[in-house]
């Protein structure tokens, strides 16, 4: 793997780390399997790209992308909480609706960002090679998100959100408005996906409606890899695990694709991802089974 490919993998890993943290929020903390990110990630990219072209400040554009993601999350949460549609189905409905919305936002299937200023622009002239600046800036943003989120989840409100996911009945008996926490959690999760989309557009120089496909699987893969390499109980560490998992996942994919001996090519990415996630999901079960049978043998 070349140096540029290595830093490229780290960079994209850091961008998707935000998706991973969002997925961790929905799947793990709220126990709400939410596929909306497949739509909110390209929505964030689209909103950000369109605003950048309109000359909006890149930080504001990124914020707007996060808010758009949050709005998408609220739609899913409303379908589920208010109208009792199964969470998985609710998120699929939002996701496919967003495909059309994203086309509307951009006015065409993809938008190129060529001369526009991005959040990265001020850092390009500092004498650090571009391929290192990008992961550095994204890394700082991700670190800030992790710190803020760890603090949030340790707050009274955040604790109530965690209780909502673990034991909603108990949470309600403790006076927690569980519905409100589902709204807030799913909105936050998709805000992070939207922000990731914005960073994706800015680091890659384009927004495309098809970039959303499989976002959820990539995010889930990162969460699972993170849990495997960093099986932490502490929340802050679990969030760091999501980031680490996302980077490791990208490195693994990069390795698999660049190892000529295996004969894989870039178009095999989705297959490699699916296999990786399946293996990561199956391994803990096999391990548990193995330890059960050794116990039984004693």
Tokens 């999501």, residue located: 242
Determine, following the binding rule CB under 8 A, whether residue 162 of this chain makes contact with other proteins: yes
Closest Cα partner for 42 from 211, 293, 262?
211
Nearer to other proteins, 233 or 295 (CB): 233
Q: Is 208 helix (H, G, I), strand (E, B) or coil?
A: strand
Determine, following the binding rule CB under 8 A, whether residue 166 of this chain makes contact with other proteins: yes
The rounded distance, in Å, linking the Cα atoms of 143 and 236 is: 11
Give the range of 10-18, 34-42, 113-121, 150-158 binding other proteins by CB under 8 A.
150-158
Single residue of 155, 210, 270, 291 touching other proteins by CB under 8 A: 155
Residues 214-233 that bind other proteins (CB under 8 A): 233
Residues 175-204 that bind other proteins (CB under 8 A): 175-178
Q: For residue 111, what are the β-bridge partners?
A: 207
The rounded distance, in Å, linking the Cα atoms of 112 and 208 is: 9
Give the range of 108-116, 137-145, 169-177, 214-222 binding other proteins by CB under 8 A.
169-177
The minimum distance between CB 31 and other proteins, in angstroms, equals 10
The rounded distance, in Å, linking the Cα atoms of 198 and 254 is: 23
Determine, following the binding rule CB under 8 A, whether residue 167 of this chain makes contact with other proteins: yes
> Which phi and psi angles does 162 have, rounded to 5°?
-65, -40
Give the range of 51-59, 149-157, 255-263, 280-288 binding other proteins by CB under 8 A.
149-157
DSSP string, 249-297: HHHHHHHHHH-TTTT--GGGHHHHHHHHHHHHHHHHHHHHHHHHHHHHH
Task: Calculate helix-pair angle for 269-297, 235-258, nearest 10 degrees.
Answer: 120
Determine, following the binding rule CB under 8 A, whether residue 151 of this chain makes contact with other proteins: yes
Determine, following the binding rule CB under 8 A, whether residue 30 of this chain makes contact with other proteins: no
Nearer to other proteins, 167 or 228 (CB): 167
The rounded distance, in Å, linking the Cα atoms of 36 and 102 is: 13
Q: What is the CB neighbour count within 10 angstroms for residue 166?
A: 11
Q: For residue 207, what are the β-bridge partners?
A: 111
Q: What is the CB neighbour count within 10 angstroms for residue 212?
A: 24
Single residue of 86, 157, 278, 289 touching other proteins by CB under 8 A: 157
Determine, following the binding rule CB under 8 A, whether residue 298 of this chain makes contact with other proteins: no
Nearer to other proteins, 100 or 155 (CB): 155
Determine, following the binding rule CB under 8 A, whether residue 174 of this chain makes contact with other proteins: yes
Single residue of 124, 152, 205, 213 touching other proteins by CB under 8 A: 152
Residues found near other proteins in the complex (CB under 8 A): 151-152, 154-160, 162-163, 166-167, 169-178, 233
């Amino acid at each position: 793997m070349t140096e540029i490919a290595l830093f490229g993998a780290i960079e994209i890993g850091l961008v998707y780390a935000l998706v991973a943290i969002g997925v961790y929020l929905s799947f793990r903390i709220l126990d709400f399997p939410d596929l909306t990110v497949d739509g909110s990630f390209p929505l964030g990219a689209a909103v950000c790209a369109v605003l950048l072209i309109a000359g909006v400040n890149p930080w504001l554009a990124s914020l707007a992308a996060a808010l758009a993601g949050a709005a998408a999350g609220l739609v899913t949460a409303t379908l589920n909480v208010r109208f009792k549609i199964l969470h998985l189905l609710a998120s699929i409905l939002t996701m496919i609706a967003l495909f059309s919305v994203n086309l509307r936002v951009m006015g065409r299937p993809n938008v190129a960002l060529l001369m526009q200023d991005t959040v990265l622009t001020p850092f390009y002239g500092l004498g650090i090679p571009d391929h290192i600046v990008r992961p550095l800036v994204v890394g700082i943003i991700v670190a800030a998100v992790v710190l803020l989120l760890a603090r949030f989840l340790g707050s009274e409100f955040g604790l109530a959100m965690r209780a909502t996911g673990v034991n909603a009945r108990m949470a309600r008996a403790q006076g927690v408005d569980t519905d409100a926490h589902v709204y807030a959690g799913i909105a936050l999760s998709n805000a992070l996906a939207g922000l990731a989309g914005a960073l994706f557009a800015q680091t890659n120089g384009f927004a495309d409606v098809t970039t959303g496909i499989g976002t959820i699987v990539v995010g889930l893969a990162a969460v699972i890899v993170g849990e495997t390499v960093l099986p932490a109980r502490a929340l802050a560490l679990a969030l760091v695990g999501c980031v680490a998992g996302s980077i490791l996942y990208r490195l693994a994919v990069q390795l698999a694709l660049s190892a000529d001996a295996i004969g894989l090519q870039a178009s095999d990415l989705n297959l490699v991802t699916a296999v990786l996630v399946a293996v990561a999901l199956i391994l803990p079960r096999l391990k548990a089974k193995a330890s059960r049978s050794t116990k039984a043998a004693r």
